[in-house]
Amino acid sequence: MVTGAGSGIGAEIAEHFAESGASIVLTELPESLENAEIEAERLQRLYGVEVLCKPLDLRSVEDIERCVRSIEEQVESIDILINNAGVNLLSPALSLSEEQWDFVVDINLKGTFFLTREVAKTMVRHKRGSIIMIASHDGVVGSENHAPYSASKAGLIHLTRSLAAEWAKHGIRVNAVSPTFVITDANEQVMDDPQFRRTNLPRIPLRKFAVPEDIANSVLFLATDSASMITGHNLVVDGGWTVV
């Protein structure tokens, strides 16, 4: 199950799993579900795997529970959950509104927790599972004008550790991947801006931005038996941003 899978990093993660032969559930916001459906048709055609699409709004616990029940009616088990869906906004902390704070934190942290909890209930019954949170380098180091985003991603990283400790006895591994800036179709114009590149590339020792494949490769590794002894870990995929 991959959340926010209609485009960008989520779509790339889904493709990596489809190429590996996995059956997949893609989720997207109801108003963006068509993107996920187009992606599902493409993956089915290319790799011959089963792909389901479900609408999901992480701001609603009721919608989360409904979505998971709907999936359980169609598949035997959810073995892997990739919590990719998330939002960001830029605002100075001194002018940040309550609505802005709640918008980011409710999706990135609260909604992600309640979805993870519902899916974990099915994993407990089957005594196996791998859960991966897509966090951020902003959850490891601070960034200007990113207060709710940084707080939510740092919370997600520590939630990963807490759930890993709590659910290991059920055969469930919980890990996180923290990317640096990732070039996608949605942000390519911003990241190609000369000022953006001058400001941010020198802070990355490898002197390059990530691409969705970099994140998908890391997620696929953590999800499989190749990482069977890894849980509670935050894999930072940042070209060295957080070490300097």
CA 134 – CA 26 distance, rounded (Å): 15
Q: What is the DSSP letter of 108?
A: I
Q: Exposure pattern of 68-93 as b/e (b: 16+ CB <10 Å)?
A: beebeeeeeebbbbbbbbbbeeebee
Please indicate whether residue 47 is annotated as part of the active site.
Answer: no
Strands (E), the chain: 2-3, 24-28, 51-55, 80-83, 129-134, 172-179, 234-237
> Distances from the Cα of 197 to the Cαs of 200, 213, 215, in angstroms?
5, 20, 20
For 10, residues 6+ apart whose C-beta sits below 8 A from its C-beta are 2, 3, 4, 26, 82, 84, 85
Choice among 149, 167, 181, 209 that is catalytic: 149
The residue to which tokens 């990732």 are assigned: 182
Q: Which amino acids are annotated catalytic?
A: 149
